[in-house]
């Protein structure tokens, strides 16, 4: 079992130091979320009962690729992945160039976590069509791989082109989301799948069964995907081992969410994160 650090809602100034701590503690991958702006969204947020986001205008959403570049510069082993990057809210070439550059500068330590997104307003702001985002992502993934490999690509009205720099190794593509469309996309096009919520055991069993069904439909083996699943359990070695036996490759944790009342009363910010991450590393990772 590998451990991904879920670093949503972290202040931008903490990221580089937090990456160093994560690497020292033995985390495999550092994740951060992708949002462009905050507004009074008319689009319902799909992961709360109220339909309202769990954050406000003061919450930091730094650019994923700029932040990954900064964290890569102060680490040597730690991998990085957006969880997840809303690629169809951007154009193909912008995404290809940003991700390829980050992969090169990090020494091939980037995983491309990608999803279709839920916020219509972000698509309107970038001039991308919200309603075709799934189809456009399906078309985008193979083209991204082609460009990242150094191959030339032809698009309507544009001469054949390629990009540089490109990484030495393929960039893994992990598809996020647990709708049928997302699971099919992962089974058809992905190197991995990332869960988009915290799963109870019976919920994840259903997702894993669906993924294996779709993999079989597309002629891929049952173990073709790396599975990254946040689990609705307190950190427990035996539980993680059982899920690993079920095919889960990695889970996600933000140990400061489980700080003790005493820690919350006496520590804050980066120090609280460091103490709780070190305990998680000692009790679970090691």
Domains of the chain: 2-285 (3.20.20.30)
In this prediction, residue 150 carries a pLDDT of 97
In this prediction, residue 237 carries a pLDDT of 85
Q: How would residue 234 be classed by pLDDT, with cut points 50, 70 and 90?
A: confident
pLDDT > 90? residue 154: yes
Look up the pTM and report it: 0.95
CA distance 192 to 227: 6
| Token pair listed for 71 | 């964290």
Q: How would residue 47 be classed by pLDDT, with cut points 50, 70 and 90?
A: confident
CA distance 188 to 181: 10
- Give the DSSP letter of residue 117: -
pLDDT tens-digit map of 239-263 = 999 999 999 999 999 999 999 999 9
Long-range interactions of 214-222: CB distance < 8 A, separation 24+: 214/183, 214/184, 214/186, 214/187, 214/188, 215/187, 217/187, 218/187, 218/188, 220/187, 222/247
pLDDT tens-digit map of 21-43 = 999 999 999 999 999 999 989 99
Strand partners, 177: none
Q: Are 125 and 47 in contact (CB under 8 A)?
A: no
Q: How would residue 133 be classed by pLDDT, with cut points 50, 70 and 90?
A: very high
pLDDT > 90? residue 49: no
pLDDT > 90? residue 10: yes
Q: How would residue 233 be classed by pLDDT, with cut points 50, 70 and 90?
A: confident
In this prediction, residue 4 carries a pLDDT of 98
* Non-local CB neighbours of 98 within 8 Å, separated by 6+ positions: 65
Strand 2-6 vs strand 250-253: parallel, antiparallel, or unpaired? parallel
pLDDT > 90? residue 236: no
Closest alpha carbon to 192 in 136, 118, 141:
141
* Non-local CB neighbours of 219 within 8 Å, separated by 6+ positions: none
In this prediction, residue 3 carries a pLDDT of 97
Give just the sign of the alpha carbon dihedral 105, 111, 115, 117: negative
* Non-local CB neighbours of 245 within 8 Å, separated by 6+ positions: none
pLDDT tens-digit map of 164-211 = 999 999 999 999 999 999 999 999 999 999 999 999 999 999 999 999
Query: Where are any strands of DSSP class E within 152-191?
Result: 153-155, 158-161, 173-176
Q: What percent of the chain has pLDDT over 70?
A: 100
């Amino acid at each position: 079992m590998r451990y991904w650090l879920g670093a949503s809602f972290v202040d931008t100034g903490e990221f580089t130091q937090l990456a160093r701590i994560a690497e020292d503690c033995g985390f495999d991958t550092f994740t951060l979320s992708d949002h462009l702006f905050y507004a009074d969204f008319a689009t319902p947020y799909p992961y709360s009962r109220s339909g309202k986001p769990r954050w406000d205008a003061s919450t930091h959403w730094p650019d994923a690729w700029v932040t990954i570049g900064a964290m890569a510069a102060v680490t040597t082993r730690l991998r990085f992945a957006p969880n997840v990057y809303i690629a169809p809210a951007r154009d193909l070439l912008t995404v290809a160039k940003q991700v390829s550059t980050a992969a090169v500068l990090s020494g091939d330590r980037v995983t491309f976590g990608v999803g279709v997104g839920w916020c219509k307003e972000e698509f309107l702001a970038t001039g991308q069509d919200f309603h075709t985002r799934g189809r456009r992502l399906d078309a985008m993934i193979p083209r991204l791989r082609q460009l990242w490999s150094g191959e030339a690509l032809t698009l309507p009205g544009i001469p054949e082109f390629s990009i540089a720099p490109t990484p030495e190794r393929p960039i893994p593509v992990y598809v996020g989301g647990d709708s049928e469309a997302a699971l099919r996309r992962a089974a058809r096009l992905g190197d991995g799948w990332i869960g988009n919520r915290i799963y109870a055991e019976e919920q994840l069993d259903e997702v894993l069964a669906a993924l294996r069904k779709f993999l079989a439909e597309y002629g891929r083996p049952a173990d073709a995907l790396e599975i990254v699943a946040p689990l609705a359990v307190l950190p427990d070695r035996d539980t993680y081992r059982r899920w690993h036996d079920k095919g889960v490759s990695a889970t996600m944790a933000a140990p400061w969410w489980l700080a003790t009342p005493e820690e919350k009363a006496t520590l804050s910010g980066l120090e609280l994160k460091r103490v709780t991450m070190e305990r998680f590393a000692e009790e679970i990772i090691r």
